[in-house]
Amino acid sequence: MAVLKLEERIYEVPPDIVDLCKEMSPEVDKYIAIDQHTRFLDLSRLRLSRARPEGLRNAVERMREAAAGTRARRAPVEVKAVGDDFRVVDGNSTAVILAVLGATSVPVTIVD
């Protein structure tokens, strides 16, 4: 089970979302457009700003479409530095799904 920090709490991904991800590849580049400007951050340094079950379901669907080539891969997760960690500005659901898939780091773009 994927466990992440949401605000200052621990967030456990609902089992039905985990089940939706079972047939997905753990290869991050199938879902995210990675280029020379992309950085990778350890998941333990990310702080989610939200995690909505509907948003997670949508992320799974969009990521499956990207892997199948029927949708463009999404941009890296956008984060903002907060002390030693990073708050997710855009891409909360994507970060959660990547964690469920077994990623230990996430492709990010750091914004001001």
As a whole number, mean pLDDT of residues 48-71 equals 92
**Between 27 and 14, whose confidence is greater?**
27
As a whole number, mean pLDDT of residues 68-85 equals 95
Domains of the chain (ranges plus CATH)?
A: 3-110 (3.90.1530)
**Cα–Cα distance, 50 to 103 (Å, whole number):** 19
Whole-number Cα distances in Å, 78 to 38, 69, 86, 94, 100? 10, 23, 9, 10, 19
| Res 48: pLDDT | 86
**Cα–Cα distance, 71 to 100 (Å, whole number):** 21
pTM of the complete model: 0.88
Where is average pLDDT lowest: 40-49, 56-65, 75-84? 40-49
As a whole number, mean pLDDT of residues 26-55 equals 91
| Res 31: pLDDT | 97
